[in-house]
Each structure stands twice: as structure tokens, then as C-alpha cells.
Amino acid sequence: MENDQEFFSQLADEQLFAGEGQLSVDVVESHDEILVRSAIAGVEVGDLDITVTPDTVTIRGKREHGCETRDDEMVHVEECFWGAFSRSVVLPHAVRPENADASLKNGILTIRLKKAEMRNRIDVVKT
């Protein structure tokens, strides 16, 4: 049984850290806009790709490690994700992609999205 637990624990760790990392985001809605924020310290503006549709935001990028471990050093804990990452977020309200704005300041990515007007009234045509 203990061998099974070790196997599944190792498998879970490999699956968790395989491929791309996933960003944590905050999504904040006000009367006229939606903000998507993410802490992405160590990422250069040129390493980001942001795609906006009327109902989703996708953030892709990569974070370079930048630190080398010498042969005489031993890493004890390594929790930071290095490499490619992506995150898609379904928005709580339709937005106008053409009015999206993004900024990166002090390691915080902020995407501002203007809400699209939602039409509640429909016209009935007499036939």
C-alpha cells in the first residue's frame, strides 16, 4: 500500500508541474468595466501575449529562470514556476475587445476591459 501511495504522489507531482504553469488572477467588475489582474513578477512585456474576445481573456507568456545553480549548490525548495504559462478566464459580462488596455507595473499585470452594452429590449414585428 505504501508503494502505491508513493507512486500516486509522484504521478500527481509530475502531472502538476508538467507542461505549462497556470497564473492566478483576480477578476473585478465595476459598473462600466472589468479588471483582470495577475502577479507575474519576472516577466518582460515582450514575453506576454494577451487575447481578448467578448467573453474571455487569455494570457500567455514565459518566465525565464535567470538563476543558475552551481555544481556545489543543492536546491532544497523550488516552488516558483519557470517557463511557459497560460490562463484563460471566462468573463462575468460581455466586453468590447477593441477597447482593451493592458499595463505591467511592479510585476502586476492589469487588463482593463470596457463592458459591452447589453440590450434588454427586443422589437416585436407584426407579421
For the chain, the domain total comes to 1
pLDDT digits (tens, 9 = 90+) for 39-75: 998 899 999 999 999 999 999 998 887 777 778 888 8
In a domain, 5, yes or no: no
Residue 124 lies in a domain: no
pLDDT band at 15 (very low <50, low <70, confident <90, very high): very low
Residue 87, pLDDT above cutoff 90:
yes
Q: Report yes or no on 9 lying in a domain.
A: no
| pTM higher than the cut 0.85 | no
Helix (H), strand (E), coil (C) string for the chain: CHHHHHHHHHHHHHHHHCCCEECCCEEEECCCEEEEEEECCCCCHHHEEEEECCCEEEEEEEECCCCCCCCCCCCCCCCCCCEEEEEEEECCCCECHHHCEEEEECCEEEEEEEECCCCCCCCCCCC
Q: How many residues does the chain have?
A: 127
Check residue 72 and give its pLDDT.
82
On whether residue 10 sits in a domain, the answer given is: no
Q: Which domain holds residue 29?
A: 16-68+76-114
Query: Which domain CATH number covers 88?
Result: 2.60.40.790
Residue 103 has pLDDT above 90, yes or no: yes
pLDDT band at 3 (very low <50, low <70, confident <90, very high): low
